[in-house]
Amino acid sequence: MAELVAVLGVQHNPLLWRTMRDPIPDDLARSHSNFAKFRADLAAAKPDALVVLGSDHLRKFVFDNSPAFCVGKAARFPCTYENEIRTFGLDTWEVAGDPDLAGSLLGGRELGGGFDFALSNEWLLDHSFSIPLVYLTDLDIPVVPIHANTNIPPVPPASRFAQLGVYLAEAIARDPSHKRVALIASGHLATEVGGPRHFLGGDSPDAEFDRAAVGWMRDGDLAGAIAGCTLDRVLAAGNVTGQYLNFIAALAAAGGRPASFAEGTPSRFAAGPFFAWEIAG
C-alpha cells in the first residue's frame, strides 16, 4: 500500500517570484529560509508523488463551471496563465502527472468515500499550484493536483475540508502502488486582493484571525479550526482568506496532530503560512 510520508502547508503568493531573489531582502529572509527548510524536509521524505491541494483563481474553474473539488488525472500539467506572466513575471513550467494515483484517489471505477469529485484530464495550473512546486521541488516529482473551491459561493464548509483530509489520507493508504506520497496544501492566512486592505506594508488585514489560524495548526485543534472558519469569518479577514480552508484538510490528513512547525511569517505582503506535520515512518 502507498504511504503518506509528509504533510506541508505553504503560501503561494506569486509576488515572491519577483521579490524573493538574491540578495534576499531582509523582510523576506524568513520566508526564504522557511521555504528552504520545507524543501529539505520534503526531499528527506523521498516522495514518489505529490498530492497538491490548491484553489484555482477563476482561470480553469469560473462562475459557470465551479466544482467543489476536482482531481487532475492528466499525464502532464503545464503551468502559468498569460496574466500571471504579465503581472507577476512568472515563468512557464510543466510537471508530470500521476494518472494512476489520481485514479485511486477518485475511487477507481466508482467514486467512493462520499466524495463526488469532478475529474479533469486537461488542466493548465495556476500559481496556487506552481509556486509551492517551484519553491519546494525541482519539478521532478509527479503531481496530482486537487482544486478546492474556496472562492465562488457556495463554498464547502470547513467541516467538509476536514472530511476531505481524512478521505485523502485513507485513500492514499489504500492505494496498492507502495508509493511514498506527500500532501502539500496551498493557501493564505488573512489576505485581501484588490480591496482597501491590500498591501498594508507588512500589517495583516486581520491579525486576530492570523493568530487563531496559526494556533489551530500548532495545537492540532481541528474542532477549533472548523468552528472558527465560517465563511463569514474568513471573508471578514480578507476576500481570499477562504483559501486557508485547504490547511484544515492538511491538519485532518495528518490525523489532527499538532503541527511540528506552524508560523505566520511576516513580510512586506500579508503574513505567509508555513505548516508542517511529522508523519511516523
Per the listing, cell 474568513 goes with 234
Query: Quick check: 20 and 32 in contact, CB under 8 A?
Result: yes
Q: pLDDT band at residue 201, thresholds of 50, 70 and 90?
A: low
pLDDT, position 227:
98
pLDDT tens-place string over residues 72-108: 999 999 999 999 999 999 999 999 999 999 999 999 8
196: pLDDT strictly greater than 70: no
pTM of the model: 0.96
List, in order, residues 6 or more apart from 145 with CB less than 8 Å away.
52, 54, 71, 72, 77, 123, 125, 129
What domains are defined for the chain? 3-277 (3.40.830.10)
Greatest Cα-to-Cα distance within the chain, rounded to the nearest angstrom = 51
Q: How high is the mean pLDDT of the chain?
A: 94
Q: pLDDT band at residue 135, thresholds of 50, 70 and 90?
A: very high
